[in-house]
């Protein structure tokens, strides 16, 4: 049987349609019956195309005697892929015909010419990729809008730049006021990201319907999209090694800036400006240059929390979660009679949870220790440290569902800002259902944990529990983690999920 293969990446006026390709290939079929394999919307840079894969499968089954294409680059633009494909054609005695290039693959000269053409086909693809990259940087260097999520404080509007139609940001005053407040608060010497998040939550200020997070706030306090850029801003970026595309005389304290990773920049750290590009944008800035620079310099001086710090507050660290939001409970010390309390980290950071209530850390640890002793008596065999059976299929399915819920929640939250009262009520109902299902999945995942057990582990843990007051905090943590998978706690209820 004859196969005609047609491919078109995108619909454009200057590209030949798949219908036209098939019509041109009919002549080479000489009136014989053929099957058309069409991949529309797929690139020729690789062979990951559904109908092409079907064609290969049919060839291997011996159903195809000849393959006809309109042009060589319709079937492949990769030398490696094409060489493998021609080897397959040769193995299964399949004739290959290019309608416009007239190759005879039965001769050595024909195969040689075919390979030469493939070299130029791949060169053309790589040249196109380079042109697209160059066009992106060329447009960005001229201040054109290059897509992406619209920053808080702005909306998009049509505009004309360099005699071309494009889009630009316009200030959205309702949100811009919050940006100004954020910068004013952070400019105070003793104000942290967390302090601003707390202030915003207490005053009902949200990020388009969602609670503010410290990471997003940090990004906005560093972003030159908001600055009313003047010569001080120009000199700041110049001293940091950034490439500034706009001339210094244009920095008059009015426009914001676009900031792009440079085409040749190999720096990964956000604090490394070298070879990155700064260009004046067509929109007006929100934050005065002196205030923006003050906050930006404060951000640079802040040191990130060092990872891997040794736990010093409780041997339950990493195991105990808020029973409402499932975020970690952390120990906080106060100058009170009981001094140590377990507090919800989500409530402390973003006020997005009502909290777990009043839980005294000392009393809670004593209660969990008693539960471990009681559990030990129930089970004659204990968990061997770090010897867990691989996740079962049920747990894998639950994790997939949890990720789907997370994606749906993010999508719904993005719609909150534009929702009317009716839609908002529907969104809230759906989000509440998703949150409840997510909490249920967390519990079911915990139950799916399966561990191997042995007698040696029993003796080891029993020994530790018998001399509990004398062992180190780190040893207590290891014992707890070998017995307990997770603890969900509020002041009213405690759920312990065991490893045995």
Specify whether the CB–CB gap between 480 and 465 falls below 8 A: no
18 located within any domain: yes
User: The tokens 């407040």 sit on which residue?
Assistant: 181
Residues 239 and 352 in one domain: no
148 located within any domain: no
| Distance (Å, whole) CA 333 – CA 361 | 10
Specify whether the CB–CB gap between 186 and 297 falls below 8 A: no
Residue of 185, 72, 78 whose CA lies nearest to 129: 78
pLDDT at 6: 93
pLDDT at 52: 93
Own/partner long-range contacts of 35-41 (Cβ < 8 Å, ≥24 apart): 35/1, 35/2, 35/3, 35/4, 36/3, 36/4, 36/5, 36/6, 37/3, 37/4, 37/5, 37/6, 38/5, 38/6, 38/7, 39/5, 39/6, 39/7, 39/8, 40/7, 40/8, 41/8, 41/9, 41/10
DSSP SS3 for 96:
strand
| Distance (Å, whole) CA 386 – CA 348 | 32
Q: In what order do the strands lie in the sheet with 2-8?
A: 34-40, 2-8, 66-69, 95-98
247 located within any domain: yes
Domain count, the chain: 3
Count of residues making up the chain: 500
pLDDT at 305: 40
Looking at residue 326, the DSSP 8-state letter turns out to be -
Residues 292 and 377 in one domain: no
Residues 294 and 413 in one domain: no
Residue finishing a domain among 107, 138, 169: 138
pLDDT at 262: 61
pLDDT at 308: 42
Ranges of the chain whose pLDDT falls below 70: 11-14, 79-80, 102-143, 146, 262-272, 302-312, 336-337, 349-352, 378-396, 399-400, 410, 413-421, 423-424, 443, 445-459, 500
pLDDT at 450: 43
| Distance (Å, whole) CA 354 – CA 57 | 58
What range defines the domain where residue 228 resides?
A: 154-301
- For the stretch 311-320, pLDDT in tens is 467 888 888 8
Residues 349 and 203 in one domain: no
Looking at residue 368, the DSSP 8-state letter turns out to be H
Give every CB contact of residue 16 below 8 A, 6+ residues apart in sequence: 8, 70
CA angle centred on 362, ends 357 and 367, rounded to 5°: 85
- For the stretch 8-18, pLDDT in tens is 887 666 678 88
pLDDT at 71: 85
DSSP SS3 for 335:
coil
User: What pTM value is reported for the model?
Assistant: 0.43
Residues 133 and 158 in one domain: no
Residue finishing a domain among 236, 270, 301: 301
Residue finishing a domain among 269, 301, 333: 301
DSSP SS3 for 30:
coil
| CATH number, domain containing residue 202 | 3.90.1750.20
């Amino acid at each position: 049987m004859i196969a005609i293969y047609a491919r078109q990446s995108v619909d454009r006026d200057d590209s030949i349609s798949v219908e036209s390709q098939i019509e041109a290939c009919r002549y080479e079929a000489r009136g014989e019956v053929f099957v058309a394999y069409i991949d529309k919307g797929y690139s020729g840079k690789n062979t990951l195309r559904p109908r092409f894969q079907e064609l290969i499968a049919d060839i291997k089954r011996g159903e195809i005697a000849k393959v006809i294409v309109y042009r060589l680059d319709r079937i492949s633009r990769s030398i490696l892929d094409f060489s493998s494909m021609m080897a397959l054609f040769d193995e299964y005695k399949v004739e290959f015909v290019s309608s416009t290039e007239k190759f005879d693959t039965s001769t050595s000269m024909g195969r040689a010419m075919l390979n030469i053409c493939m070299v130029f086909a791949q060169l053309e693809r790589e040249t196109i990729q380079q042109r697209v990259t160059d066009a992106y940087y060329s447009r960005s260097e001229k201040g054109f809008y290059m897509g992406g999520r619209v920053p808080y404080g702005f909306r998009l509007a049509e505009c004309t730049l360099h005699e071309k139609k494009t889009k630009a940001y316009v200030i959205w005053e309702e949100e811009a006021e919050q940006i100004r407040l954020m910068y004013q608060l952070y400019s105070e010497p003793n104000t942290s990201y967390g302090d601003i998040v707390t202030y915003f939550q207490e005053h009902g200020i949200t990020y388009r319907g969602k609670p503010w997070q410290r990471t997003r706030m940090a990004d906005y306090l560093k972003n030159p999209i908001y600055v009313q850029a003047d010569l001080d801003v120009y000199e700041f970026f110049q001293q940091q090694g950034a490439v500034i595309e706009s001339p210094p005389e244009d920095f008059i304290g009015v426009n914001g800036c676009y900031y792009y990773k440079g085409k040749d920049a190999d720096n990964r750290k956000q604090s490394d400006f070298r070879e990155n590009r700064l260009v004046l944008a067509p929109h007006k800035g929100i934050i005065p240059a002196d205030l923006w620079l003050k906050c930006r310099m404060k951000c640079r001086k802040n040191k990130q929390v060092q990872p891997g710090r040794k736990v010093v507050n409780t041997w339950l660290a990493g195991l105990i979660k808020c029973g409402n939001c499932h975020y970690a409970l952390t120990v906080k010390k106060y100058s009170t009679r009981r001094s140590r309390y377990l507090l919800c980290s989500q409530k402390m950071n973003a006020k997005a949870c009502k909290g777990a209530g009043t839980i005294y850390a000392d009393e809670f640890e004593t209660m969990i220790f008693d539960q471990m002793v009681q559990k030990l008596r129930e089970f004659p065999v204990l968990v061997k440290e770090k010897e867990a059976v691989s996740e079962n299929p049920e747990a894998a399915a639950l994790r997939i569902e949890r990720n789907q819920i997370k994606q749906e929640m993010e999508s719904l939250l993005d719609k909150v800002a534009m929702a009317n009262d009716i839609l908002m009520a529907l969104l809230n109902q759906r989000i509440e259902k998703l949150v409840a299902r997510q909490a249920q999945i967390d519990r079911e995942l915990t139950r799916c944990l399966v561990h191997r057990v042995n007698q040696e582990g029993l003796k080891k843990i029993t020994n530790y529990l018998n001399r509990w007051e004398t062992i180190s905090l780190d040893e207590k943590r290891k014992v707890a983690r070998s017995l307990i998978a997770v603890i969900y706690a509020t002041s009213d209820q405690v759920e312990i999920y065991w490893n045995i």
